[in-house]
Amino acid sequence: MQMKKAMVISMIAAAISASAVTPVFAQTAASKQAVQINQSNFFVNANPVSIRTIVDGGVTLASVRDITNAIGATLHINSDHTVVVKFRDNTLKLKVASKTLTVNGTATALQHPAKEVAYATFIEPAAFVQALGGTYENNTISVVELLDGAEHAIWANSSQLIVSNSAGEGREDFLVDAATGKYELLLASSDTSELVLSPDGKSVAYSDANGAVFTIELSTKQTKQVSTDSSIKNELQYSKDGSSLFFLQGDKSSVIAKVSLADGSVTKVLEDKVDYKGNLEVSADGKQVAFYVFKQPKVTADSNKDVELDDVAIDATGTEPQIYYYNTAAADNKPVQLTKDAADKVFLKLSADGSKVSYISVSADEASVGQLVTVDNAGKASTPSFADKDVYQLVQGGSKLYLLTADGNSTNAIYEIDSASGTSKLVQTVSDSASELLISSNGDIAALIDGQLVVSSQGKWKNITN
Amino acid sequence: MKWFKQLTIAALIAVVGFSSVPASTPVATAASKLSGKIVINGSSALLPLTLQASNEFKKLNPKVKISASAAGSITGPQAVRKGIADIGAVDWDATKDVPGFKKFEGQVAHKVAIIPFAAVVNKNVTATNLTTKDLQGIFSGKIKNWKEVGGKDADIIVVNRTFGSGTRVNFQDKALDGTDFMSKGDNYKEVKTSGDMKSAIETTPNAIGYMDLAYVTDKMTAVKINDIAPTEANVINGKYKVWGYGYYMTKGEPTGATKEFIKYVQSTKFQNGSLKKLKFIPISAIK
């Protein structure tokens, strides 16, 4: 993984307070003038830090030494009074009363000159931090090196996400701090399925190309093999009690099965000899499932005829994906078909009690407008919700559903729907380049935008990967 | 969603030409999102891969509708040429002549997977290590009894794929060194798809056939060929020779949703993830 050595800001809103005020005289002023030195509250890499500040000409300047100490840089003052700060690959030079800041030998202009008060040098914090390769906003400094890219991500808990990126012939999965972007490698692998999170958020599971199933404890990063069963396993997901993993079995995803985490045994849940199931959903009690079935068009071709005649015909009539529901209590391997319409169907979500299925119905016409549809487990559909919106994605977050919909010319909207009451509210807007909405079980929101992971923090989006 | 700008009608016409109406037409929506319909037909060996990719791609591009069917490789480029499919899935490069089939003019071949093929026998067959000469004899009908190749005294039931199968083209070329198949007889049958082959081998005592490795189940035995087991590792290390590339054929360079779908299947994410899980080998594994 190429780690880009850029840094971004953590946009935690910091309350600025002056805990101590010390009036001193600025030595460089033509006529001595009292200047108050304040002890101000900053956040450096999400940690609270006290940094001296002054206000000069209406502009807040911060202590070079205090920032330097807080981020772990080195500071040296040459005999000609040039202040030299070194941080990673960057070397900064500045002089008091000068509006020039030299960064790795290149001069850049400051809007306000550096100032010396009580033998300490003060500078515009934004320009100083950015010159060091960090980011600054509202007394918040971040010099965390961020992960480069985010192809896939899931919330692990409210403070961490698991971010996955391709790496060489395989993939790397990282635990990423939602506040700072600080990351650590969780798994480097070459032939594994995407990681799925346990209901308690403490472990993840995956299968390898041989079908074997493994779990990783997030706190210790200890990997444990839980099954040697070699069948192909698609769409692994934990049962709500965390005791087993459900999956679609076989290269054609024909069978719904589950593997016990206790002894690795595999049990078939549904074997109806129907191929190409997808989007498996399991109820909280683990006894009800819902899924799509993808049917193949009928192809007529006579292999005895001259190839040049192209005697082939494709009849796709009645092959639109349909949703099925199965209660294992029936034990008859006969799932109930819940939908019959010609619309495409994506993002299927089975309610925790198994009573209804919500999904995005994409109209069969060329407009391809997406609508939120709910159908009960007897096949009775509700009136489509958000009918005036083009709905792009449906995500489950705890007991709530979240929608990504069209909004303005350059934005999409995120709505939250209370599953119990059915009420909805606009939560936030996001760039229309957002490729995926990510919601934690606590309702924390993140999104993938142009291959970068952004997290919603107090109504604003902040990058936690490059 | 990962939204992509739509192609203009003019660009579309330029690519398609005047000979036929394309099966998919990217549709410009109010929000300029990627949409359209992709029709895929051809190789049954590649069908599980195509449908898995379709399932994943639609989560990123829910407005793209994908229809995938399989009736043998040759029907893939045929359907593309006829203008009833956007992608023809085929187990050989159909831009080139292969034994039995002429090249398809004007089509572009996109590598999407390496497909290992295996000779498979019913579970009751005890001869599980065959030479190329054994296989040539069996599939040409000259060797008729399993005892001739070290097995029990029982007639060999040969199950072959119908003409037009990419698996058949590859097996004939790489496992039989081009030797002709038998074409009739009491102990000979032909099946249309890999799924039909799987059923036939699993349920027919003394049967032998062939299929791509992904279809092999624990209800059959994949035989060694010249002492080499049909494994992904043996394909990659060069010891096992019976494999081929899977291709998506398009009429000219693909555009719109079709182009993005092919890019997704070729992406590192899909190649190293779902594709490996389905027992295919990434196209980058063999240089």
Tens of pLDDT, residue by residue over A149-161, are: 999 999 999 999 9
The Cα of A236 is separated from the nearest Cα of chain B by a number of Å equal to 12
DSSP classification of residue A254: -
Is the pLDDT at A195 greater than 60, yes or no?
yes
Name the superfamily (CATH) of residues B9-114+245-285: Periplasmic binding protein-like II (3.40.190.10)
One DSSP character per residue, B93-146 reads: -TTS-BTTB---TTEEEEEEEEEEEEEEEETT----EE-HHHHHHHHHTS--BG
In a domain, A181, yes or no: no
- For residue A218, is it within any domain? no
Distance CA B197, CA A107 (A): 73
Residue A106 lies in a domain: yes
Does residue A7 lie in a domain region? no
Contacts of B279 in chain A (CB under 8 A): 209, 232, 251
Query: How does the average pLDDT of chain A come out, rounded?
Result: 90
Q: What is the pLDDT of residues B33-74, one digit of tens each?
A: 688 899 999 998 899 999 999 999 998 888 899 999 999 899
pLDDT one-digit tens code per residue, B212-246: 988 888 899 999 999 999 998 999 999 999 999 99
Is A282 among the domain residues? no
User: Which residues in chain A have their CB less than 8 angstroms from residue B41's CB?
Assistant: 297, 299, 312, 314
Q: Which residue of B has its CA nearest to A229?
A: B218
d(CA B100, nearest CA chain A) in Å:
10
The tens digit of pLDDT for each residue in A276-300 reads 999 999 999 999 999 999 999 999 9
Asked if B71's CB is within 8 angstroms of A301's CB, the reply is: yes
In the predicted model, is pLDDT for residue B100 greater than 60? Answer: yes
Q: What is the ipTM of this complex?
A: 0.79
Q: Is residue B255 less than 8 Å (CB to CB) from chain A?
A: no
Q: What is the DSSP letter of B215?
A: G
Task: Please indicate whether, in this complex, the C-beta atoms of B35 and A368 are within 8 angstroms of each other.
Answer: yes
B153 pLDDT exceeds 80? yes
Helix or strand holding residue B229 (H, E):
none
**Is it the case that residue B31 has pLDDT exceeding 70?**
no
Q: Kindly identify which residue of chain B lies nearest to residue A249, measuring between CA atoms.
A: B278
CA A118 to chain centroid, in Å, comes to 46
Cβ under 8 Å to A: B residues 47-106? 47-48, 51-52, 54-55, 58-60, 62-63, 65, 67-72, 74-75, 78-79, 81-82, 84-85, 101-102
Show the domain range for A133. 18-142
Structure tokens at A259: 């593997």
Residues of chain A in contact with residue B68, where contact means CB-CB under 8 angstroms, are 294, 296
A396–chain B Cβ distance below 8 A for any pair? no
Give domain status of residue A98, yes or no. yes
Element (H, E) at B256: helix B256-266
Residue A14 is predicted with a pLDDT of: 35
Nearest to A169 among B69, B101, B284 (CB): B284
Q: Is residue A262 part of a domain?
A: no
How many angstroms separate the CA of residue B273 from the nearest CA in chain A? 6
| Number of structural domains in chain A | 1
Count of CA atoms in the C-beta half-sphere (13 A) of B10:
0
- Global pTM? 0.82
- Tell me whether the CATH fold assigned to B9-114+245-285 matches the one assigned to B116-236: yes
Query: How far, in Å, CA of B180 to CA of B161, rounded?
Result: 13
Any domain includes A79: yes
Indicate which CATH number applies to the domain containing A118: 3.30.457.10
Look up the CATH architecture of domain B116-236: 3-Layer(aba) Sandwich (3.40)
Look up residue A259 and give its amino acid. Answer: V
Compare all CA atoms of chain A with the CA of B286 and give the residue at the minimum distance.
A169
Residues 196-215 of B with CB under 8 A from A: 214-215
Q: What residue segments make up the domains of chain B, in order of their start?
A: 9-114+245-285, 116-236
